[in-house]
Amino acid sequence: MLVEEPVRRELARLVVRGIALVAVIATLAVLPVVMKLDVLARDELATAAPVLLLAYALASNALRLVRGRATADERLAAWVRAREVDADDALLGQMVALWVPIGLLAALSLLVWPHITDPNPALACAWVVLGLPPITAAWVFASTTWLDACRDGLAHAEDESTVRFRRYWANPGR
């Protein structure tokens, strides 16, 4: 049990981080509808979402640089090894890992939809030309960072698990 704990902990963290990330962006998307905000406030929320996604991606990448990246082989085997530790938690983790980019895309679409369907064609066109590219880039950057961070986190947890296993069997009974 002590050996499996790092992988179980990382799977739980992955689920919590994924739900929190989607919840923040979904809150920004639903806030204008629930609070009946004016156009200026909707614009600010629509521009805040990609800024938050970029901040998440940059912070996550900086943290991965500090911790160090797992090797390519470790990253490829991360989900398989997690399934060996706990198949149910690994399946939940994989579902969350896949649904985070989809949830972010849905929330961003909901956030941008009123702008690109604006009755004023000039504003709608401006949002399509000037608003969608940075939002799309932020989504792509955050989604790929998210998926990489999931694999890296699991690979590091599995390394820690292996170290614990070897340390235990180096001195059994102590």
Instruction: Kindly state the percentage of the chain with pLDDT values over 90.
Output: 51
SS3 category, 138: helix
- Burial class from Cβ neighbours inside 10 Å (0-12, 13-18, 19+) for residue 169 reads exposed
In this prediction, residue 149 has a pLDDT band, given cuts at 50, 70 and 90, of very high
What value does the mean pLDDT take over residues 145-163? 89
Cα 168 to Cα 172: distance, rounded to the nearest angstrom: 6
Kindly report, residue by residue over 75-128, the tens digit of the pLDDT: 888 899 899 988 999 999 999 999 999 999 999 999 999 888 888 899 888 888
